[in-house]
Structure 1
Amino acid sequence: MKKIVLLVAAFLCAASLQAKGDLHLFSIDNKDAKITPYMIEEALNNGGMHVELNSNMIGPFKKQFKETNYKVFTLMTFWSKKYTKELVDKYAKAGAFTPMGMGIYQAKGEDTLHLSVLTADAQGKILGIKDPLLKKIEAQVLAVIKKNFPNAKHTLSEDSLKTSHDLVTTYEMEVDEDEDIDDVQEEFIMNLEAGFKPFGFVVPEYMDLNEVLTEDGKVESPYDFYLTYSICKLPVIYTVSKTRPEASAFAPCTTMIYKKKDEDKVVVGFPAVYNWLSSAKVENEDAKKELLKAQKDFESILKDVTE
């Protein structure tokens, strides 16, 4: 009987990790509140990642909405010091997850801290690529969590919902051969940033990805420029967090802006909100409304700057 029980337990554990969910979910006992986002940031930095953003959302939630159900709600972004350069050199779209995100949250009255991060398969599905580098980055992240939090319970999210929408929204702007690249970049960024505030978007972090790709000017990059903006709209993450806090793995949204040296165009794009709806199974009507409005608003900004 003991063997049967053990076999059943092993089967259930294996089955939970063989689900087709798009999110790695970790649950860590944190009754004494000793585990903090700063500890997780340090662990990631020491484990081969580079943390770009560690944003505590409790203050903004309380300031704008007067209340929150969480005592911890942090958005963290990071990239792999070992593999990101190679990945973005090969696939321009990979910048949509450079940096990638991790949601860190713990509800009031709860003893468990939760971590949420996209699987490599989910990233590949969204980007439309299959490459072992995605698995290598995933392995780095999982190794950091398992090393520093060995008692963490690891599961995968529920199976994702099907969607017929494009998972990365992109727009292009043609560039004349005789245009100065620095002027093109400066004007494009100026127009893009001017469009954020009227629609309520904020930029908690900005990254010159070409500095990573050129190793600070030591090697050539296939891009004239490559920038990424971490974009956030507070009503979106606040409303979604009420029912699907694990969707915080998508926040803030990384917007990529690049021009390849062998192309006469600037490309701008971001992982569409349909990923939130699909991967995190966001079905609450208020949350869906906020997400779809954000998609529409951000598309209108990108249309304006690329026309």
Structure 2
Amino acid sequence: MKKISMIFVSVFLILGMSVCSAKTPNVADQDIQIFSVDNSNGAITAKSIEKAFNASGVVVDVNNDMNSIFSKRYGHIHHKKYNLAIFTNAKMVSKLMSKYPTIGLITPLSMSIFSDDAKNTINVSTLSLAGMARITKIPATNPDLIEYAKLLDAALHKALPNGSYLAVNHNVKPSNKPLTTEFTIEFELEDGATYMEVKEEFEEEFEAELGPVGYLIPKSYKLKHNDYDFFDTYSIIRFNAIYPVSKNHPDAGAYAPFSLVIYKKKDEDTVNIRFRSIDKWIDDLGITDKETIKEVYKTQNMIQGILEELTE
């Protein structure tokens, strides 16, 4: 790597609290929320949902018809309608960045838009306020996080008129798996290089490693904030993981594409790299199929291995 030597400082695996499912599900207690409405006439589409979100100030940057991808790649689809989309509200993210760089773990947020073909409903799954708080470690009582969740709620009601939240009752298992996977490194500047130049070079190498092993980057963000030298986030997906997971857990789109953040505060030497541990899907969604679990672990291990190699 030109003009750079990187000192590997540490890898942190931050343990999340174990959450057990209750017999009577409570939307507020679940990490994922599913908003649903009858769509027998087919009037509500992924595009109309995107339009409603944008009009509500929650901007959809990518909205992909996954069935067009799945049918070509795997020759089969699980649901008549299945889209994965990512969205943000720049104002809320900027406000939360001031105190909580962990907001990058859910920037962008993601959602799945899917049909329940037996019930003729259209459904949108996203993180709930509880899920946003749990992943970022931002208190659920934080007024800015609450406002962000309210914006999302308003967008869902506008997109699916007369809709309602379903009772979510995933068989969430107590787990010691790390909630997030984190790396810290220091960039040592050489030959007059700047932090921005070194960061760009690091990210180029990172992106080059992802494609050959099946990861795609639907979008990346370079956020500006006075407290940071840089704050970049990636939306990342691996089809070989989300395809089998979505068969029985179409609401997994609340977790995928997953977000990875790379940032450096101006008053610190440390560069932080964080993403929500992908193998947590197994416990949080109650995944039991062995082949699906194998692909989820593979997805976690490969991206963790890439970052370990780049930070050696």
Q: TM-score, normalised by structure 2?
A: 0.85
Partner in structure 1 of residue 180 of structure 2 = 168
Secondary structure at the counterpart of residue 129 of structure 1? coil
2:211 and 2:27 mapped to 1: Cα distance?
Answer: 42
Partner in structure 2 of residue 154 of structure 1 = 165
Partner in structure 2 of residue 224 of structure 1 = 229
Partner in structure 2 of residue 254 of structure 1 = 259
Q: For the Cα contact (< 8 Å) 1:102–1:115, is it kept in 2?
A: yes
2:161 and 2:118 mapped to 1: Cα distance?
Answer: 23
Deviations for 1:62-110, whole angstroms, at most 9, x for unmatched residues? 1110110222111111112441111122111110101111111115565
Higher relative contact order (CA 8 A, sep 6+): 2
Q: For the Cα contact (< 8 Å) 2:27–2:166, is it kept in 1?
A: no
Partner in structure 2 of residue 29 of structure 1 = 38
Aligned residue type for 1:208: K
Q: For the Cα contact (< 8 Å) 1:25–1:115, is it kept in 2?
A: yes
2:212 and 2:48 mapped to 1: Cα distance?
Answer: 36
Q: How does 1:262-281 map to 2 (within 5 A)?
A: 262-281=267-286
Secondary structure at the counterpart of residue 167 of structure 1? strand
Partner in structure 2 of residue 7 of structure 1 = none
Which among 213, 219, 223 is matched to residue 205 of structure 1? 219
Q: For the Cα contact (< 8 Å) 2:65–2:84, is it kept in 1?
A: yes
Secondary structure at the counterpart of residue 135 of structure 2? helix
Q: For the Cα contact (< 8 Å) 2:49–2:160, is it kept in 1?
A: no
Partner in structure 2 of residue 112 of structure 1 = 121
1:41 and 1:209 mapped to 2: Cα distance?
Answer: 22
Q: How does 1:1-307 map to 2 (within 5 A)?
A: 16-17=25-26, 20-108=29-117, 111-130=120-139, 131-158=142-169, 160-176=172-188, 179-210=193-224, 213=225, 221-307=226-312
1:266 and 1:29 mapped to 2: Cα distance?
Answer: 47
CA RMSD of aligned residues (A): 1.8
Q: For the Cα contact (< 8 Å) 2:103–2:136, is it kept in 1?
A: yes
Deviation of 1:56 (Å): 1.2
Higher helix share goes to which structure?
1
Q: TM-score, normalised by structure 1?
A: 0.87
Paired-residue identity, %: 32
Partner in structure 2 of residue 12 of structure 1 = none
Secondary structure at the counterpart of residue 124 of structure 2? strand
2:273 and 2:57 mapped to 1: Cα distance?
Answer: 28
How many pairs does the alignment contain?
284
Deviation of 1:19 (Å): 6.3
1:77 and 1:197 mapped to 2: Cα distance?
Answer: 20
Compare 187-196 and 256-265 and name the one that shifted more: 256-265
1:165 and 1:92 mapped to 2: Cα distance?
Answer: 22
Task: Name structure 1 gaps, 5 residues minimum.
Answer: 1-14, 214-220
Deviation of 1:228 (Å): 1.1
Deviation of 1:126 (Å): 1.8
Secondary structure at the counterpart of residue 48 of structure 1? coil
Change in CA separation of 1:73 and 1:175 when aligned onto 2, cut-off 3 Å: same
Deviation of 1:161 (Å): 2.5
Secondary structure at the counterpart of residue 204 of structure 1? strand
